[in-house]
Amino acid sequence: MRGVFTCFSFVLFICINAFGQSNFELKGKITDISGEPLIGASIQVAGTSFGTITDLNGNYQLNFENTGDYQLKLSFIGFSSIQEKVTISKRSMVRNYQMEEETSNLQEVEIIGRKEEGYKNTSTFIGSKTQTNIKDLPQSVSYVTKELILDQGLMRVGETVKNFSGVSQFTFYDDITIRGFRINGGSNTQLVNGMRSTSGFWKQPLINYLERVEVLKGPSSALFGNASPGGVVNRVTKKPLDINRNSLSFSIGSFNNFRALADFTGPVNESKTLLYRLNLGYEDAQNFRDLQFDKNVVVAPSLSFIPSDKTRINLDLVFNNSSSRLDRGQSTFENDLYSTPITRSLNTANDYLKEQTYTITTSLNHQISKNISFNASYMKTGYNEDLTEHRSSNSYAVDGEGNNIGTMVGRQVFIRKRSRFVDNLSAYFNIQKSTGKFTHKLVVGYDYAQETLPAGGSQLTANGYRNASNTGSIAKYNPANKEAYLLDVNGNPVPNVTHFDLKNPIGSQTMQDMSKYFYAQRSYDPTLYHLNGFYVQDQITFGKLEAMIGLRYEVYTDFENYKKENEQKVNQNALLPRLGLVFKANENVNFYGTYVEGYNPQTASSISNPNAGGPFDPLISSMVEFGMKSDWFNKRLELTTGIYQIDQKNTLYQVPGETDLLQQIGKETAKGIEFDVTGRILMNWSVMASYAYNVAEITESPNEIDLGRQKPNAPKHQGNLWTKYEFDQGKISGLGIGLGANFVTERNLSLNDTQTIPGYAVSNAALYYTTGNVRLQININNLTDKTHWVGGYDYLRLFPGAPRNLLGTVTFNF
In a domain, 517, yes or no: no
Q: State whether 249 and 383 are in the same domain.
A: yes
pLDDT of the residue at 797: 95
Per-residue confidence band for 21, with pLDDT thresholds at 50, 70 and 90: very low
Q: State whether 231 and 374 are in the same domain.
A: no
In a domain, 492, yes or no: no
Q: State whether 426 and 455 are in the same domain.
A: yes
Q: State whether 229 and 262 are in the same domain.
A: no
In a domain, 52, yes or no: yes
Most confident region among 25-39, 412-426, 591-605 by mean pLDDT = 412-426
pLDDT of the residue at 492: 96
pLDDT of the residue at 49: 64
pLDDT higher than threshold 60 for residue 351: yes
Q: What is the pLDDT of residues 621-664, one digit of tens each?
A: 999 999 999 999 878 899 999 999 999 998 877 776 676 788 78
More confident residue, 103 or 615: 615
pLDDT higher than threshold 50 for residue 94: yes
Task: Determine how many CB atoms are found less than 10 A away from the CB of residue 33.
Answer: 10
pLDDT of the residue at 609: 65
**CATH code at position 133:** 2.170.130.10
Distance, CA of 685 to CA of 727 (rounded, Å): 9
Per-residue buried b or exposed e for 424-452, using 16+ beta carbons within 10 Å of the residue's own CB? bebebbbbbeeeeeeeebbbebebebbbb
Per-residue confidence band for 194, with pLDDT thresholds at 50, 70 and 90: confident
pLDDT higher than threshold 50 for residue 19: no
In a domain, 443, yes or no: yes
Of the candidates 334, 390, 325, 331, the one whose C-alpha atom is nearest the C-alpha of residue 354 is 325
pLDDT of the residue at 603: 75
Query: Mean pLDDT across the stretch 71-85?
Result: 82
Q: State whether 327 and 446 are in the same domain.
A: yes
DSSP letters, 622-667, are: EEEEEEEEEEETTTTEEEEEEEEEEEEEEEEEEPTT-SS-EEEEEE
Query: Mean pLDDT across the stretch 184-200?
Result: 77
Which helix or strand (DSSP H or E) is residue 388 part of?
Answer: strand 372-398
DSSP 54: -
Which residues of 290-351 form beta strands (DSSP E)?
Answer: 293-308, 311-324
More confident residue, 366 or 10: 366
Per-residue confidence band for 34, with pLDDT thresholds at 50, 70 and 90: low
Q: State whether 232 and 252 are in the same domain.
A: no
pLDDT higher than threshold 60 for residue 1: no
Q: State whether 131 and 57 are in the same domain.
A: no
Q: What is the pLDDT of residues 211-240, one digit of tens each?
A: 999 999 998 877 788 888 999 899 999 999
Q: What is the pLDDT of residues 770-782, one digit of tens each?
A: 998 999 999 999 9
pLDDT of the residue at 606: 66
**CATH code at position 773:** 2.40.170.20
Share of the chain above pLDDT 90, in %: 64
Query: Mean pLDDT across the stretch 88-94?
Result: 88
pLDDT of the residue at 131: 78
Distance, CA of 639 to CA of 741 (rounded, Å): 19
Q: What is the pLDDT of residues 232-283, one digit of tens each?
A: 899 999 999 888 889 999 999 999 999 999 999 999 998 989 999 999 999 9
Query: Mean pLDDT across the stretch 520-527?
Result: 89
Q: State whether 532 and 640 are in the same domain.
A: yes
Share of the chain above pLDDT 70, in %: 93
Q: State whether 291 and 231 are in the same domain.
A: no
Least confident of 170-179, 194-203, 467-476, 565-574: 194-203
Q: What is the pLDDT of residues 568-579, one digit of tens each?
A: 888 888 999 999
Q: State whether 406 and 555 are in the same domain.
A: yes
In a domain, 690, yes or no: yes
Looking at residue 515, its amino acid is S
pLDDT higher than threshold 80 for residue 185: no
Per-residue confidence band for 16, with pLDDT thresholds at 50, 70 and 90: very low
Domain with 320 in it: 245-459+522-813
Per-residue confidence band for 181, with pLDDT thresholds at 50, 70 and 90: very high
**CATH code at position 55:** 2.60.40.1120
pLDDT of the residue at 38: 83
pLDDT higher than threshold 70 for residue 15: no
Number of domains in the chain: 3
pLDDT of the residue at 18: 41
Which helix or strand (DSSP H or E) is residue 7 part of?
Answer: helix 2-19
Distance, CA of 570 to CA of 529 (rounded, Å): 9
pLDDT of the residue at 3: 52
CA distance readout (Å), 63 to 55, 91, 683, 684, 747: 16, 10, 17, 16, 52
Residue 29 dihedral angles phi and psi, to the nearest 5°? -135, 140
Q: State whether 215 and 80 are in the same domain.
A: no
More confident residue, 18 or 507: 507
Query: Mean pLDDT across the stretch 724-748?
Result: 93
In a domain, 711, yes or no: yes
Q: What is the pLDDT of residues 741-765, one digit of tens each?
A: 999 999 999 767 789 999 999 999 9
Q: Point out the domain boundary residue: 237, 269, 284.
A: 237
Q: Point out the domain boundary residue: 65, 99, 133.
A: 99
Average pLDDT of the residues of the chain: 89
pLDDT of the residue at 187: 66
Q: State whether 70 and 164 are in the same domain.
A: no
pLDDT of the residue at 604: 66
In a domain, 515, yes or no: no
More confident residue, 293 or 666: 293
Q: What is the pLDDT of residues 374-387, one digit of tens each?
A: 999 999 999 999 99
pLDDT higher than threshold 70 for residue 6: no
Q: Point out the domain boundary residue: 99, 131, 161.
A: 99
pLDDT of the residue at 684: 87
In a domain, 777, yes or no: yes
Q: Residue 47, SS3? A: coil
